Structure 1
């Protein structure tokens, strides 16, 4: 059947338009790949047909194959001396046009070979990385059973939850996840909720280091206490290379000086380029970076935290000083030369991140009280290596109380509630508080639990006072606190009675004011403004077991 001339003209125009669109699509993909590759310092070649793009370096190359309509066919990666292999992860990224993630992988591939020397030396570095990856994978299988889940591996595995390197993505280790992240993952099946991760790679150095060129674990189960036995690092199994293995973090991790020293003792290698600062200042900075869309000053030390069924909390973060263990640094990577160091380093990292999680729970993007709601005031003060104190006013009396939290490991927390001997007990045992801490890893949630229990104590105390009043003759009331900033008992949001401030403007307008001074000023002239450090020493004394 013949096509009318007018219709044929329309079909010809449509076909030309389709070809133009397909050519434009293919050109745009090629143009993006060329631009991205050159930004990463790589060479780019396009085949005469225009359907294949080669991204090359001295040690590897990528082959990106397109159809004539611009749709992606395959992405192949070949390392030095190896045959090309299809990379499904890279195919997926390019099909989604996620050029940022694709560029990050190009950068990781390039960094893998940033070792001084010729191509042979760089190839030896790649062999060393492969040997390390095999040993780490063997260690990851030690505690793995058929029913083990990801969260258990993250929190308890010798090398956390290990994901082997795919052709384009480096090996990574997920080693800590908070209870809230676990809950979020459970409530949102299929969501990409992940904990703290580190990437396993190799980097060039100015000095030579002896690195293994083949796996050192012969039998993962042959060591003592279920630890693997390693072969001796002989000349046959190793080589002096201008490189080191590194655990790299996507975001720098605030670490205490003592944790950094522990890692140094374990690896024998100094972490270079560190700048010491008060640890709590670094933790606050890191927390604000995660929680805030806008940049907030790290000088902020007062934060407002809202919880359901509870008055709003105001936390003053006492950042301490750069002295001794109260100092720390932001750590971006940890160098090491032997796979046996990794489990110990992972355990130190877990410990530090668990501690950071508790302090970060007191930090929010709200550093100004935006309403006139009731407030409970707390001060977070560093104590020793991995312990800190949370000071607050006793809900029944007007004396300082304190909860000391000692993070023994990422899985063990000790707590001690310290009260003035004359104040009513709050009936929570130290073990119970520790269980609450471990279950939520949130200081505000723990303090809410304590204040809820205190409301019952206060109610019982009032009942006893009423019983006494009915049995004794009425006496004139004693002198009351008349200062406008004084404390009074007022119903909380939950309908219970909590200790609240009637006039909060003087405090909320000056968030830089130290909590100890603010708390003591609210007590009026009947309370002496003693030094916080002396109170800290008194309240933080814990009997040695």
Structure 2
């Protein structure tokens, strides 16, 4: 039977029925198990159709809001119950529950969240999402809440895991307060704070740490104070494991004064202050971060499994292209065209090396740890790596061809050592190669050195000038433009 004929039969069947009955039937069908007959595999087209219906249904009435909440809860593996009055919906699991209070017209009055053994508290983020009908964001928080308890064992074991996470969060928050002086702004915290800019967990939104922001993002934030400029973040949470690990059941920070290593003092994880749990704490990233083998070795407290080594530059290029470009674009290119104002177009060839080279790396999506004292050191290593990655990624663009046959300046980016790389280019006046070696000492310190053939004329750019320019913009193309401009001025004046 054709689609048109089927739709016509459906119209004839239901044309005399009231809309309320049709709506009930739709919701009934949506609540039925979405399975193919004789198969445990979900029906892809059916699921897609149901999801479209759920998004399109305008949850305005009390009935439709309740049905939407019940359907969403089932999708996330949770239970949903409606109060006898019909104006409250309880979304429950064995470890937490959410109470949604509604008016008779379907408007959200209040949303409360209660974890295992705790009194319910008002949850503003959940309430705002429901009032704005943002059910995708609401569903994501339900997932995050459930993930807090994905620890092997019974409810008591899961509750201990939540207790350990609370202890960690208190220590991290205490560390963040050490950097919060009266005149310290968010950008300073991001770039210099021991735990970056920390936003504590609220309701179902996990604790986040923003630990790096580029100079261009800083400039955008200064020019547009109301803009939501966001740097690189990590989420703090807990995950189940196959092995037991000692995790604290109370805060361990004892001395806020920095010690010899510049970090505050902590109690050790003794038997009296810890418990053995099949879990560890993790710093999770929304997008995996390309990290060098040396960086991974520095932070690897607990074995990070499943890492596949590859040339670091290849990983940085792939990650950058996936972030900048639409899906389907090849991420295996090595040649990129970068356009800048008032300058010939740049062509960058990125020499990726091999996975056997000194500069191999892996994509890291999470970092496990068991003691809060690990976090400041890990954050500093992450800052260093992201700063390094940002310089390489500044040479990457979605343009793989010179579309307008315009004048080009050619550059080759080549790994040098663990924290440094070289940018080779043709001398603007002579035919010899010139080179800038860029050493990323840490996330706040970059050293640049220009190397020329002794017989070639100067480019009118000192190492100090190049270094200051690089710190200010953290962009290879912008600095190379400055070098060529200085050389052009010198040539014009001579």
TM range (shorter): 0.7 to 0.9
Aligned residues: CA RMSD? 1.8
What is the CA–CA distance in structure 2 between the aligned matches of 1:232 and 1:351, rounded to whole Å?
27
SS state of the match for residue 415, structure 1?
A: strand
1:68 is matched with 104
Does the aligned pair in 2 maintain the 1:142–1:226 contact within 8 Å?
no
- Relative to structure 1, the CA distance from residue 39 to residue 435 in structure 2 (aligned partners, 3 Å threshold; closer, same or farther) is same
Deviations 1:89-117 (A, max 9, x none): 11111111222221111111111100111
Whether 2:400 is the aligned partner of 1:367: answer yes
CA drift of 1:26 comes to: 2.4
Whether 2:89 is the aligned partner of 1:56: answer no
Whether 2:481 is the aligned partner of 1:448: answer yes
CA drift of 1:402 comes to: 0.8
From 324, 343, 367, give the equivalent of 1:310.
343
From 271, 275, 284, give the equivalent of 2:317.
284
Structure 1 residue runs of 5 or longer lacking an equivalent are 1-15, 464-545
2:136 is matched with 100
Equivalences for residues 173-212 of structure 1 within 5 A: 173-212=209-248
SS state of the match for residue 459, structure 1?
A: helix
What is the CA–CA distance in structure 2 between the aligned matches of 1:320 and 1:376, rounded to whole Å?
23
Equivalences for residues 339-488 of structure 1 within 5 A: 339-460=372-493, 463=494
- Relative to structure 1, the CA distance from residue 22 to residue 172 in structure 2 (aligned partners, 3 Å threshold; closer, same or farther) is closer
1:3 is matched with none
Equivalences for residues 2-17 of structure 1 within 5 A: none
TM-score (norm 1): 0.78
1:39 is matched with 75
- Relative to structure 1, the CA distance from residue 261 to residue 72 in structure 2 (aligned partners, 3 Å threshold; closer, same or farther) is same
What is the CA–CA distance in structure 2 between the aligned matches of 1:454 and 1:303, rounded to whole Å?
24
Deviations 1:91-144 (A, max 9, x none): 111111222221111111111100111111111101100000111111111222
CA drift of 1:224 comes to: 4.4
Does the aligned pair in 2 maintain the 1:37–1:43 contact within 8 Å?
yes
Whether 2:201 is the aligned partner of 1:165: answer yes
What is the CA–CA distance in structure 2 between the aligned matches of 1:305 and 1:53, rounded to whole Å?
54
SS state of the match for residue 466, structure 2?
A: helix
SS state of the match for residue 242, structure 1?
A: strand
Does the aligned pair in 1 maintain the 2:59–2:65 contact within 8 Å?
no
2:119 is matched with 83
CA drift of 1:286 comes to: 1.2
2:354 is matched with 321
CA drift of 1:34 comes to: 2.1
What is the CA–CA distance in structure 2 between the aligned matches of 1:424 and 1:24, rounded to whole Å?
74
From 175, 192, 197, give the equivalent of 1:139.
175
Deviations 1:354-409 (A, max 9, x none): 00100111111111211132111111111111111111100000111111101010
CA drift of 1:233 comes to: 2.0
TM-score (norm 2): 0.86
What is the CA–CA distance in structure 1 between the aligned matches of 2:59 and 2:156, rounded to whole Å?
41
Deviations 1:57-98 (A, max 9, x none): 111011111111111111110000001101011111111122
1:338 is matched with 371
Equivalent residues, number = 440
Whether 2:143 is the aligned partner of 1:110: answer no
What is the CA–CA distance in structure 2 between the aligned matches of 1:441 and 1:452, rounded to whole Å?
18
Deviations 1:165-187 (A, max 9, x none): 11221111000000111111122
CA drift of 1:222 comes to: 6.8
1:252 is matched with 288
Does the aligned pair in 1 maintain the 2:322–2:331 contact within 8 Å?
no
SS state of the match for residue 343, structure 1?
A: helix
- Relative to structure 1, the CA distance from residue 407 to residue 24 in structure 2 (aligned partners, 3 Å threshold; closer, same or farther) is closer
Does the aligned pair in 2 maintain the 1:289–1:295 contact within 8 Å?
no
Does the aligned pair in 2 maintain the 1:405–1:414 contact within 8 Å?
yes
Deviations 1:419-440 (A, max 9, x none): 1111111121112111111100
What is the CA–CA distance in structure 1 between the aligned matches of 2:234 and 2:370, rounded to whole Å?
16
